[in-house]
Amino acid sequence: MSDWDYPEEDERVTWWSPNGEEVVTGRIKSFFDNHPKFIWEGTIGAGGNGIVFRLQYRDGGSSSRLALKIAPLDVDFGGYKTYGENQKTPNEVKSILIEKEWLQKLRGCKHIIQSLDIPPLDDPLLNIPSGMRSHGLRNWIFMEYAENGTLNSFVERHREQYPGQLLPCRLLWRFFMCLIRAAIEMAYYDATRDGQQVDVTNASLESLKSIPPGPLGHLDWSVNNVIVGALEPHFQPPEHSITPTLKAIDFGEARNVDPETDEFNRIGSERNLLDIGEIMGFLMILGRGDFNDKVKVTVDDKTFEISGGSYIEQNRQEIMARGVDSLMIGFVYQCLSLERESRPNLIDLAIKVHDQVVNRGANGVERETDQAILKRISTLILEAETRKRPREDSEDDDDDDEDFEEGRIKRRKIDES
């Protein structure tokens, strides 16, 4: 059969075929084989929404590792794609374009994964060699490579390396602040003051209080859509002095949220805070609490209802006894609140969490010292590097995230009622 022959319908290989991923990977890899500026290194993770590959890119005398994301449903298999030519373009294919556009707008945001511009003449997918069949892709994204994996894989490594232990609370406060920083970047990436663009990275938190947050909501934020970046002790000190930078990824579902039409009656920043509450709840207990019921909680003498968090509430005293601050639990509850008046303001919460990052000490607990946290982080990051199993990590993350996402879906069904 030639490259251009159309197989019979029942013989067609598609992305959903048993060997579909292998065929797609081979098709895309063929464009990089023998290219003088690229070295193909393999697959990081795969799913219907996207498949991500790892490559080395040589630019002049330097070499860097990067990631390539495509929509596998859009790959040409030999004159046909996984979906029929008369069918509507699948959302999974549209999401690549959506993500590409949002990442372009979010360029320079330090807590957002960064897309990369490859010179057109260097891009094998843009300059198809003579005689090769087109890959059929309409969009693809080159982006920075996350060498330390997802937040979910970080937690899994912690469970293995430190069985029975929770994360140090001072580490949790810094991760909390990283997530809030990402939410701030989404809320203020295009903010202006007196006609001038706001430098969201360097602007003081107090200076942002007078600017209304923008409408961007991630809408797919979970522990598997946060990556663990590098250690950057001189970036926004002391927020990253002993812990790596967290970055939000996967913006294929992102959109501007109108509270008048949003089913949860939340603006974009409130939707992002809701997700942050779920992620922090996960991190505090290194597992998944119930997200399929409502529970009443009390914070600062005010009682309100939250969806999710019932496990934390039922075991609150034990969790606090194991080192998690009551103040942090209260902030997480506010993020999860079903009642608008109990939800936190993004910048007000950022100021409070930042205060804990700056002032919360080890309180005489060895595991909370800078040295102990740095050692723990180094051990977990070294474990990520020595495994060198990007595909296995991805598969584990997918399984774990299915449980997490199922809880999110159940919780949001309750939220609608």
How large is the average pLDDT for residues 25-29? Answer: 96
Residue 342's pLDDT is 94
Output the CA angle 252-115-71, nearest 5 degrees. 40
- What's the confidence (pLDDT) of residue 302? 95
Choice among 27-31, 75-79, 81-85 with the minimum mean pLDDT: 81-85
309 has pLDDT over 90: no
Give CA separation, 343 vs 28, 29, 292, in Å.
46, 47, 20
CA atoms within 13 A on the CB side of 268: 21
The residue with tokens 């993020």 is 335
Residue type for position 58:
R
What are the backbone dihedrals phi and psi of residue 62, each rounded to the nearest 5 degrees, phi first? -110, 160
Task: Inform me whether the pLDDT recorded for 321 exceeds 50.
Answer: yes
Q: How confident is the model at residue 209 (pLDDT cuts 50, 70, 90)?
A: very high
Q: Is the pLDDT higher at 78 or at 169? A: 169
Instruction: Kindly report the backbone phi and psi dihedral angles of residue 66, in degrees, each rounded to the nearest multiple of 5, phi listed first.
Output: -145, 170
Residue 290 has a pLDDT of 60
**What are the residues facing 226 on neighbouring strands?**
248
Tell me what percent of the residues of the chain surpass a pLDDT of 90: 72
pLDDT above 50: residue 226? yes
Q: In residues, how long is the chain? A: 417
Write out the DSSP string of 68-99: EEE-GGG--SSS--SS-TTSPPPHHHHHHHHH
Give residue 404's pLDDT: 42
Copy the structure tokens of residue 187: 């809320």
| b/e sequence 323-341, b meaning 16+ C-beta within 10 Å | bbbebbbbbbbbbbbbeee
pLDDT (mean) for 287-291: 64
Query: Within the chain, what is the greatest distance between any pair of CA atoms?
Result: 73
What pLDDT was estimated at residue 15?
85
CA atoms of 47 and 224, how far apart (whole Å): 13
pLDDT one-digit tens code per residue, 365-414? 999 999 999 999 999 987 666 554 444 333 344 444 444 444 443 344 33
Ordered by where they begin, the domains of the chain are 9-144 (3.30.200.20), 151-416 (1.10.510.10)
- CA gap 273, 141 in Å, rounded: 27
| pLDDT at residue 151 in the model | 96
Which tens digit of pLDDT belongs to each residue from 332-354? Answer: 999 999 998 999 999 999 999 99
Mean pLDDT of 132-142: 95
Indicate whether 260 pLDDT > 80.
no
